[in-house]
Amino acid sequence: MKQYKLMLAALIAVFFTACIQIEEEVELKDDGSGQISVSSDMGKLFELVKSFASEEDLQKEGMDKALDTMIHMKDLIDTARDISAENKALLREGIMKVKLNMKENQFNLDMKYPFKNYSDANKLYAAINEKGMMGDALKGLKQNNGEAGSDGQPPVPGAGGPGLEKFSSVYDITFSKGEYRRTLNRARYDSLVSDPKLQESKGMMAMMGEMAMNLTVKLPRKAKSVSNPKAILSDDKKTVTLKNDMILALDSPQNMEIIIRY
């Protein structure tokens, strides 16, 4: 059991920096409003857990129970500590969907955050990426530290940790009229890659195979220019898709930089 817990802790450490498959979508409208969506597929995490843990071990840890729920962020944000009133206002309209079923190797996390204008969009990204902020909000689920919640549901691995935003925070993402800009923040990137936990997890990340990290930007009108030559432009020139692998992105983060003018 001790070995199982140590291995599970290592896997959760991987979850903090990589979520196997990340699909980020930004939808922009003519009036400056829109929505940020992030979908993560972490089923491979369960495949690894089951490769060394027995069914009895999983039952004892409460990981054999399925979870399928939708969380309105306002129910967590309003009572969360250490979050500014401004960030609460930006995040409270968000929705999070969690599907967890170890027997079927299913672990999906989907988040959607709407915004009203460019200014709110810029602040929203900063709020999502704020260190520790989302973890504090997730404490409302009472599922931290590998413990089941008060409703008897299984724990959500990574709840309370840095999660998705830890890697996405290495980019400065800004919205303005007619432009979407995603550029590398070298100081934050250097800080991330110097973290011993990240270096320790790289070997395990490689065991999981390809880990997609994709960005899709839906525009209100045709794109005039796209800076990244690897980006794919749709036939109507209103959708820009940039695909990458998480491990490659960690080593060459400039591959996910992009400036779109429309």
Write out the residue range of the structural domain in which residue 67 sits.
Answer: 21-143+160-261
Note the pLDDT of residue 210: 67
Q: Which residues, in sequence order, are bridge partners of residue 41? A: 21, 108
| 3: in domain | no
| 211: in domain | yes
User: Looking at the 3D structure of the chain, how many domains does it have?
Assistant: 1
Residue pLDDT, tens place only, 226-236: 999 999 999 99
| 238: in domain | yes
| 152: in domain | no
Note the pLDDT of residue 62: 67
| 4: in domain | no
Residue pLDDT, tens place only, 44-70: 777 777 777 777 777 776 667 788 989
Residue pLDDT, tens place only, 79-111: 777 788 898 899 899 998 988 888 888 888 898
| 169: in domain | yes
| 148: in domain | no
Strand order in the sheet with 67-72: 67-72, 95-101, 106-115, 34-41, 21-28, 212-218, 239-242, 232-233
| 150: in domain | no
